[in-house]
Structure 1
Amino acid sequence: MNSFTDNCSVPSTVPVPPIFQSDILTPYMEHTTYLKKSQIILPNNEQTDEKQSYLIKALGEFSIPESCYIDDTGHFNSVEFNICFNQISYVMFAFAFKHNIFNSVLKDWKKKGLSYESFRKNQLSSMLIVKIEGKFLSNLASDQFWGEVSLKKILFRSDVIYFYTDIIYYDKHNGKSNGSVVLAYNPNLNKRTT
């Protein structure tokens, strides 16, 4: 049973506790932690038509006071697109693993070693970007903006799970960027290389 998704007739929004988010983003140096706060949106379980376009969604507020790798460009760029995607998706997947959100997708999820503990242990080594596409539709101010990542589809191939996601970033001045990212998750990858 999952208290967040059981009997949910409307999408539910769950704020991510700051301590949880901070713990998940521990691998990032403080000046590269651009995600300031986040929330998870869980879908309406009663909706079975095409309108339900995601399995889980995360919303985040970001701020990049200064670039971690280059002088200030004055705008959001592709490296920051990637870093922000990584941060919000790590939080979303950690939340999903912690609260067993994916158990309904694969009944023997935990038998395959797909637990929160496994995710945390292998967070950096087992979650790989297979494909990333980004479009910069209008100049996005990097001092304050928001991002939404939506998990659209999960595909299983042997020991690898592919997560198909969409991402959109926007600011209060109509700045906008969007794209899609395919992730491969293999909790056994770390075991093969050691």
Structure 2
Amino acid sequence: MTGTTARTVEARPVQTFATDEDLLPRVLAPYKEHCRYLLTAEVSGLSDGLSRVRATFAIPESCYIDDTGHLNSVEVNIAYNQMMYYLVAKSVKEQLLTGFESWTLEDFWRHQLPDILIARFASRFRRPVDPRDFSGEMAFRSVDLRSSGRGPLLMATTAYRYWDTEGGRCDGDVTLAFVDIT
């Protein structure tokens, strides 16, 4: 065939869930109270078997450094973790995410801290983001079952971005490893 072009089709939301007021505090329970930045999270199951979350955050005061006046890399990572944990928990609860079909919420709670690892984390700071009031989104791009010397694991690629009302912008890509999943 000549003259053909491959096209990528954007997955469409097929189900959307407002913030689960019972689930959110449970997901954030491992964090110290002054480090619970995630305020709201709307999760969508997508037509391709993946999911995404749109969220709001507030960081009234940095948990580790004097005020920098902008979102910094440590806070980006903490906000990402909270958004990701919530997205996985809600996706498991609503059975939205490929690769997690057999998981229950009890499986998620058991795996949340010891078995969900960041294998690669990349951030690009485009314009300073106000940490006191910002929004974010994160989406799973792929989830693949793999085997390792320690047994099966899920590898997931994700993308995220943050923004504020003044044009602040930060985005990046993260590879996750879900280990010891049996």
Match of 1:15 among 15, 18, 26: 18
2:4 is matched with: none
Figure out how many residues of one structure are paired with residues of the other and give that number: 167
- Give the Cα separation in 1 of the matches to 2:76 and 2:63: 13
- For 1:95 and 1:10, the matched residues in 2 are separated by 15
Q: Distance in 2 between matches of 1:10 and 1:177?
A: 24
| Equivalent pair of 2:13/2:44 in contact (CA under 8 Å) | no
Q: Could you tell me how far 1:13 is from its partner in structure 2?
A: 2.3
For structure 2, the 5+ residue unaligned runs are 1-11
Please tell me whether residue 170 in structure 1 is matched to residue 163 in structure 2: yes
- The correspondence for 1:81, drawn from 76, 79, 83, is 76
Aligned to 1:38: 41
Match of residue 130, structure 1, among 102, 119, 123: 119
What residue is the counterpart of 1:70 in the other structure? Answer: 65
Identity %: 32
Q: Superposition pairs for residues 1-194 of structure 1, below 5 Å?
A: 11-43=14-46, 45=47, 55-102=50-97, 105-106=98-99, 109-110=101-102, 114-158=103-147, 159-188=152-181
RMSD of aligned Cα (Å): 1.9
Compute the TM-score of the two structures, normalised by the length of structure 2. 0.85
Higher share in strand: 2
**Would you tell me which structure has more helix in proportion to its own residues?**
1
TM-score normalised by the chain length of structure 1: 0.80
Query: In the alignment, is the contact (CA less than 8 A) between 1:119 and 1:187 conserved in 2?
Result: no
Distance 1:10 1:89, change over 3 A: closer
Q: Which runs of 5+ in 1 are unaligned?
A: 1-8, 46-51, 190-194
